[in-house]
Amino acid sequence: MALSDKDLRSVQEARQMVERAHEAQQVWGFANQQKVDQVCEAMVQAAFLGAERLGRLAAEETGFGVPEHKKLKNEFASQHLWKRIKDIRTVGFIRKDETNRIYEIAWPMGVVGALIPSTNPTSTVINKILISVKARNGIVVAPHPSAVNCSLQTAKVMIDAAEGAGAPPGLINCLSTISLSGTQEMMAHKRTSVILATGGSDMVRVAHSQGKPAYGVGPGNVPAYVDRSADLEKAAKYIVASKAFDYSVICATEQAVVADRPIAGRLQQLMEGEGAYFVDETQAEALRKVLFNPDGSINVQSVGKSPQYLAALAGIRVPAHARILVAKLGTVGREEPLSREKMTTVLGWYESNGWEAGCERCIELINFGGRGHSLIIHATDEKVIMAFGLEKPVFRIGVNTMGTLGTIGLTTNVMPSLTLGPGGIGGSITGDNVGVYHLFNIKRMAFETSRPPEIAMRSGTTPSGPIYGPDPGEIESVVEEVVRQILRA
């Protein structure tokens, strides 16, 4: 297929930026820890100060989410993340094990190719630039086509601050002419060392097909199990607030409640008090038609929208005070579209009698589009909590916390990140919250701690063949000693 003029410009821009990042990284790779942290600190302060403006730009350009919540995510991706990683050594000797005589040395990857989603564009740009530069890498950012301007503006904030603090020009780059060809060129370029892929499943698959290291994300069909032992008031408050946060565009947002039957009625009442509106079956059917396309893919028009917007789109009426919409469901799978991941303010609702049944329902949901990602459990019974932790095929299990903010590390102590790996079962190389540790390699200097075995010091063969018996020198010594004894006699 012939490339358009825009495609060609995008490809050329990608090539130039990767080369610029490589040249700058050759200098930055020799920066000392003090200089690295000085540059990162400057970027953090600039991004934090610009958090509100950049969040507003993201909401206006994409049409997704809530500006105030995007501001919070920008603050999280800058200041909160920096507090966790500022003391991590990324230069020179990072660990000396004197007992085992192994010294570990940090070594940067090179150039990071970073894909940016439309759902969390500015916060993801901040996040990926910060961890890349902290690890002494260069970076080229490839924005989503619907989030180009806000991504460019965010990158500019980081670039100006970094270069003002002493980073070499060209270390941080952001594509401005966006096309599939250009983004693929950025990823495939020989100077690109590692790919950070956050975005739609198709682009993540392309990232994994480049024949080089790639950290990708996966869909998050996150169930929230509420046990009979849970603090129901807290669970109701957290679930509604989490699903309403930034209109549900974070991939770890709750997608369905699985309520233990004895407490289901009370939980519903409490959630209604927090702003959850439970739709009837006619309304649910209208939502099915507008949230998803006939092939099961998400209708982009429904992503990151308020309940009132969705109601207007679906031709139904919901209260003005509704923060989220909840649909009671009975099955999981293709025949029930609302059991899929819904990147908007619609939540599924299931009831199960006992934690064992709830466990099975959660696994069904996870296997239907959320393998390896996340799960939330509200309970105080330690037996139930531990059983869920051991049995669920996910790599983030939030206990009595919000799905959105707990899994990314704002309300828990997991590593702060907006790139959440779903592990091997989810098609990724890692199940971690991807951070600075994933962007540098470790060299190991290992000193001898024991002498080699004697057999290892001998030649492997003799003129007549392999050595299988005693060493020929030893045989000769024995023979000489026997001859001396005979002569003495």
User: Which residues are catalytically annotated?
Assistant: 251
Task: State how far the Cα of 474 lies from the Cα of 6, in Å rounded to an integer.
Answer: 78
Q: Of 384, 413, 381, 379, whose CA–CA distance to 396 is shortest?
A: 413
CB 112 within 8 A of CB 132: yes
Q: How far is CA 261 from CA 51, 183, 268, 397, in A?
A: 43, 49, 11, 22
Q: 3-class DSSP state for residue 109?
A: coil
DSSP string, 412-427: SSSPP-S-B--TGGGT
DSSP string, 294-350: TTS-B-GGGTT--HHHHHHHHT----TT-SEEEEE----BTTBGGGS--SSSEEEEE
CB 121 within 8 A of CB 170: no
CB 245 within 8 A of CB 400: no
Q: What is the DSSP letter of 457?
A: G
Please, what is the Cα angle at 269 between 267 and 270, to 5 degrees? 65
DSSP string, 473-489: HHHHHHHHHHHHHHHH-
Q: Of 59, 55, 65, whose CA–CA distance to 344 is shortest?
A: 65
